[in-house]
Copies of this chain bind each other. A is one copy, B any other.
Amino acid sequence: MNTSCFLALTGGIGGAKLALGLSQLLSADDLALIVNTGDDFQHLGLHISPDIDTLVYTLAGLNNPETGWGRSDETWHFMQALGTLGGETWFSLGDRDLAMNVERSYRLRAGQTLSQVTAALATALGIRHTILPMSDDPVHTRVLTAQGPMDFQHYFVREKCAPAVTGFEFEGIDRARPHPDIEAWLTRPDLAGVFLCPSNPFVSVDPILSLPGLREQLRTCPAPIIAVSPVVGGAAIKGPTVKMMQELSLPNSASWVAEYYRDFLDGFILDTADQALRPEIENMGLTVEVKNTVMVSLEDRVQLARTCLEMAHKIKAVS
Contacts and interface: CB of A to CB of B under 8 A. Distances in A.
Interface of A: 44-46, 71, 74-75, 77-82, 84-87, 94-100, 102-103, 105-106, 109-110, 120-121, 124-125
Contact of A99 (B46, B82, B99, B100): B82
Contacts of A120: 86
Number of copies: 2
A125 B84 contact: yes
Given A86-B124, A120-B86, A80 B102 contact: no
Given A105-B45, A125-B85, A75 B99 contact: no
B106 A78 contact: no
Contacts of A77: 74-75, 77, 94-96
A78 B96 contact: yes
Contacts of A74: 77
A120 B95 CA distance: 23
Nearest to A105: B45
A149 B55 CA distance: 43
Contact of A84 (B82, B105, B124): B124
Contact of A85 (B44, B84, B100, B105): B100
Contact of A102 (B44, B103, B109): B44
Nearest to A102: B44
Contact of A81 (B46, B96, B105): B96
